[in-house]
Chains A and B, each alone.
Chain A
Amino acid sequence: MLKMLMLIKREIYDHIAYFLGAIIFSMIIVIITLSATHRSDNHDAPELAVALSFPVIIILIIGFTSMGISQMYADKNKRISAFLLTLPVTRGRILAARIITGILAIVTLFVPLIITTIILYGLLVPPVPVIKGMIFDIFATIILTAIACYCIGLQTGWMTGRILPPLAGLILTFIFASIILIKGFWPQVWLLLIIFIIASVVRIRQKFMKTPL
């Protein structure tokens, strides 16, 4: 367990920029949300929210995809796993530590947002179950999308090609974004995302365990 924590610590330290980015990005959204709430009589607020949502989703998609790519690409290029395997570490643990680190980055981004939303919901919005359910649906979909994008990044980063894999990753990412835009934040979309995440993790594990390091 302690060794696993060491591996996670190593991953976090190596990709600290993503964690700092997640914290800063999260703070910006919280500040914008609080400021928009404070000026709730302002008629521009809904337009502002809509205008912000697109760049936010794009930044999320690019951010987590690039984190996955960066983790795997750095490993492959710098032969990090090949070195780690000369220590009391197994391939399975290296990959598990890597994926946990990615999830932690997603948690780092979303926890402040969820806390802010819960507080604002308690303070300002009347206790309507529909709204409560909607907030849950939105967060669940966005978090699952972030994990799916991260998985695409992991797969892309481990591939050897320079053009096709990133292109395929990019296309897949925008297919997901389009499905969410068309279908909305619904359980059918969650199901699709969960199936994709499980399939991706299984595939990444299979490739990582077999590939020469």
Chain B
Amino acid sequence: MNDNAINVENLVKYFDGRCVLDGIYLKVPRGCIYGLLGRNGIGKTTMIRILLGLESPTRGQTSMLGIDSTRLSAKVRGRIGCVAEGHNLIQNYKVSRLIKLCKDLSVRWNNEFFEHLIETFRLPIDRRIKDLSMGMRAQLNLALAMATEPELLILDDPTLGLDTVARRQFLELAIELIQQQERTILFCSHILSDVERIADRVGVLAAGKLVVDCRLEELKRRIKKLQVIFPDKAPENIYITEIINQQVHDREMVLTVANWNRRKQTILDTFKPSSCTEVPMSLEDIFIECTKPAQELIQTGVQEIQNA
């Protein structure tokens, strides 16, 4: 059996001559919660749409649960749950009718769990989808996807439109779901604290490339932000490789570096800094550093964070 729930090989996608995805390689192991991050319009949703077979790639191959995305059978689709961005439910249906449709078409349906979700979210089943608020639609979409007990759950910005309480409820549910054996979640979100809370592996898309792909703790361990003060003016180049970001203000230099080690520390020491302090970084800080506009330095730095 293939150990990866999701496999993406050399994925390239062009829209009207514009390259959105530029040779993406991604493997999501079974049982993993993978947080896919990236700025708006960077191609996260496109990648998910290609994975689901809603869009065809310009080049490359994608597969889910060992099956090519362009050839996903109904049976395989039954093992995959999905919450799409914008919660595209059938707008003119009543909630009860949509539930019935999903129930009738599903391979598996955990009614007890679904009822529990409907009660938790307090969803009105007699209203039309178009009359529901964005948050309610998101909750309904989540409940429908989770009730099928999918082996692989794809969540494209699932907490979009949810209030704080509902978002917390969703995260608790996602954790509950992952605790069940062999469940895999691919999770896109702009709320990085959510991703930090539940993801055990993260990927960052920037400029069409997957610039980060490693375990969350590994990412935090390997990226360091240093505030270095020099006795005189800070040097313009300190000849350290894998610099993600570097800002110089007179005597102060703020340096974000990948794979900080003793050798790099020795190189920095040759410039005789007055002080060198490590600045704690959250996932949000790392994300901002990694997705800053493309510079040569950034590219060489972040490419080293892959496949850790």
Contacts and interface: CB of A to CB of B under 8 A. Distances in A.
A binds B: yes
Nearest to A84: B105
Nearest to B77: A88
Interface of A: 3, 6-7, 10, 78-80, 82-91, 93, 210, 212-213
B145 A86 contact: yes
Question: Which residue, A10, A78, A84, A87, has most C-beta atoms of chain B within 10 A?
Answer: A87
Interface in B247-272: none
A66 to B, nearest CB: 18
Contact of B91 (A78, A86, A91): A78
Contacts of A213: 54-55
Question: Which residue, A82, A83, A90, has most C-beta atoms of chain B within 10 A?
Answer: A83
A3 to B, nearest CB: 6
Contacts of B105: 3, 6-7, 84, 87-89
B161 interface: no
B59 to A, nearest CB: 16
Interface of B: 49, 52-56, 72-75, 77-78, 80-82, 84, 88-92, 101-102, 104-107, 145
B55 A83 contact: no
- 3 closest cross-chain pairs (CB), A and B: A88-B78, A86-B82, A88-B74
A212 B90 contact: no
B90 A78 contact: yes
Given A6-B101, A78-B90, A93-B74, A85 B52 contact: yes
Contacts, number: 60
Q: Is the interface of B mostly helix, strand, loop or mixed?
A: loop
A154 B61 CA distance: 31
Contacts of A78: 90-92
A90 B73 contact: yes
B90 A87 contact: no
A88 B54 contact: no
Contacts of A93: 74
A90 B101 CA distance: 15
Given A89-B74, A93-B74, A83 B90 contact: yes
Contacts of B49: 212
B65 to A, nearest CB: 13
Contacts of B145: 86
